[in-house]
Amino acid sequence: MWRGRQEPPVAGWIGWVFSHDARIGFELLARITRAPILKLLVRRVVQAVPVVWLVSFITFALMNLLPGGSSGTALQLLGENATPSAIKALNIKLHLNEPFFTRYVHWIGGLFSGHLGNSVATGQSVAGILAERLPVTLELGLVSLVLSVVFSLLSAVVAAHQRGRIVDRANIAVSMLGLSVPNFVFALILVFVFAVKLHWLPSSGFTSISAGLGQNIRGMILPSLSIAFGLTCGYNRVLRADLVDQLVGADYVMLARSKGISERRILFGHALRNAAFGFLTLVGLNLGTIIGGVVLIEEIFSLPGIGQELVQSITYHDTLVVESVVVILAVTVIAANFMTDMVYSLLDPRIRYDRSE
């Protein structure tokens, strides 16, 4: 604490400038830093930094040290009959002959300064690839997210309202069955029913929104449904269980009932708010995995998204593209988890993150 005679540090100066009293500045600073949400924010950021670094290092190490990794790039590009001297020349051109750590530092520096480099196979810049591919994946992810949240909210609320009755039981059974079908298998079945048998929807292909909104929506229905179905079943199970817990056990629900408040109002006004935390956490934690998990769906429906690009780049040993994309996806996951944490603690003031979980 500043004792008067000494030079006041920055916080003190701020208080002094505004009110000629350095103590106000200190008090302000102390209050801000003591706010639990900020403490949480700072701690989470501090935790996230080494995780992001580790992610980048693990990615780079995997791509470069695994037997078929970047050492196979030149061979893959030049074909089976490449002469050793040609391979050597290409390796020098791509800086693949330099030591591992030099390349790592170079790559990390590029990531920070925004120069992501160029694809080895096509010569396209990684930033350009991302700009072209990411919108498709984001559209798919966003549509599936919205669909799954809407469907699961509806079904869970109805099931909780009708708890123990036939609708609820059917809902539980369908969720359990739905959770047991992997999304790419569900996608294949959807293609069989709606594209091959009924000819209602296209089985593959993508039209950008600017080229035709109707076509775009038609192409997006099956892929987004196949992702949303599994998610809906998972969300629905969690939300329904929490809702029933609140409706059956909570004191405030009993009080509301004894006051004569309608069941519908109790459900939407009281129980849903209190039961939503598990649901919101799950949705938040899934944000990143949706984006990363669409690889197979994009393959099946041949959507030109980030997942398809990844699989292509991996097969071409296009290490630079894979590294950058994987790191970006991982950072998205970290950011999504971070946001979930923040929103969670903002919504529920009872939650105090005093110990690291």
Partner 1 sequence: MTAQSELPLSAETPVLSTDDERERSAYRRQEIFFWAPIVALGLIALICFLGPLVLPILAPIGGSISNANLAVFAPGHLLGTDPAGNDNLAKVLYGGRVSLEVGFATVGIGLLVGGGFGALAGFRSGWTDLVISRLFDALLSFPALVLAIVIATYLGPSELHVIYAISFFSIPAVGRLARANTLRIRSATFFAASRIAGANEWTILRRHVAPNILPNLLTFSFLSVSVSIIAEAALSFLGLGVPPPNPSWGNMLALGEQYLDLRPVLLFIPAVAIFLTILSLNLAGDALRARWAE
Encoded tokens for 303: 């959507």
- Report the SS3 class of residue 318: coil
DSSP string, 139-202: HHHHHHHHHHHHHHHHHHHHHHHTTTSHHHHHHHHHHHHHHTS-HHHHHHHHIIIIIIIS--S-
State in angstroms the smallest separation of the CB of 74 from partner 1: 15
Binding residues for partner 1, total number by CB under 8 A: 51
Q: In the set 24, 181, 221, 282, which binds partner 1 (CB under 8 A)?
A: 181
Residues in Cβ contact with 211 at an 8 Å cutoff, skipping those fewer than 6 apart: none
CA angle 172, 174, 177 (to 5 degrees): 110
Q: Does 202 bind partner 1 (CB under 8 A)?
A: no
Q: How far is the CB of 191 from partner 1 (least distance, A)?
A: 7
Which residue intervals of 20-82 are DSSP H helices?
A: 22-34, 36-65, 73-78
Assigned token pair, 118: 């160029």
Three-class SS of residue 117? Answer: coil
Contacting partner 1 (CB under 8 A), which of 19, 33, 47, 97? 47
Q: Does 66 bind partner 1 (CB under 8 A)?
A: yes
- Positions in 270-329 near partner 1 (CB under 8 A): 288-289, 291-293, 295-296, 299-300, 307, 310-311, 314-315, 322, 326, 329
Region of 189-197, 218-226, 264-272, 345-353 interacting with partner 1 (CB under 8 A) = 189-197
Q: How far is the CB of 341 from partner 1 (least distance, A)?
A: 12
Phi, psi of 125 (to 5 degrees): -75, 145
Q: How far is CA 278 from CA 25, 221, 275, in A?
A: 40, 28, 7
Residues 6 or more apart in contact with residue 200 via CB below 8 angstroms: 194
For the beta carbon of residue 139, count every other beta carbon within 10 angstroms. 19
Q: Which of 40, 159, 271, 333 binds partner 1 (CB under 8 A)?
A: 333
Instruction: Report CA Rg, the chain.
Output: 27
CA 6 – CA 63 distance, rounded (Å):
55
Looking at beta carbons only, is 5 or 199 nearer to partner 1?
199
- Minimum distance of partner 1 from residue 196's CB (angstroms): 5
Integer Cα distance of 87 and 67 in angstroms: 16
Indicate whether 234 belongs to the interface with partner 1 (CB under 8 A).
no
* Nearer of residues 319 and 345 to partner 1, judged by Cβ: 319
User: At 125, is the secondary structure helix, strand, or coil?
Assistant: strand
- Supply the minimum distance, in Å, between the C-beta of residue 281 and partner 1: 15
Tell me the closest approach of the beta carbon of residue 50 to partner 1, in angstroms.
5
Provide the minimum distance between the beta carbon of 284 and partner 1 in the complex, in angstroms, as a whole number. 13
User: Can residue 68 be called a binding residue for partner 1 (CB under 8 A)?
Assistant: yes
Part in contact with partner 1 (CB under 8 A); list of ranges 179-187, 247-255, 270-278, 344-352: 179-187
Contact between 172 and partner 1 by CB under 8 A: the answer reads no
- Asked if residue 185 lies in contact with residue 226, where contact means CB atoms within 8 angstroms, the answer is no
- Identify which range of 63-71, 114-122, 220-228, 242-250 contacts partner 1 by CB under 8 A: 63-71
Q: Which stretch binds partner 1 (CB under 8 A): 85-93, 114-122, 178-186, 250-258?
A: 178-186
Q: Which residues contact 232 (CB under 8 A, 6 or more apart)?
A: 147, 148, 151, 152, 155, 178
Nearest distance from C-beta of residue 334 to partner 1, angstroms = 5
- Compare residues 12 and 293 and give the one whose CB is closer to partner 1: 293
Residues lying near partner 1 in the complex (CB under 8 A) are found at: 47, 50-51, 54-55, 58-59, 62-63, 66-69, 72, 176-177, 179-182, 184-185, 188-189, 191-192, 196, 288-289, 291-293, 295-296, 299-300, 307, 310-311, 314-315, 322, 326, 329-331, 333-334, 337, 356-357
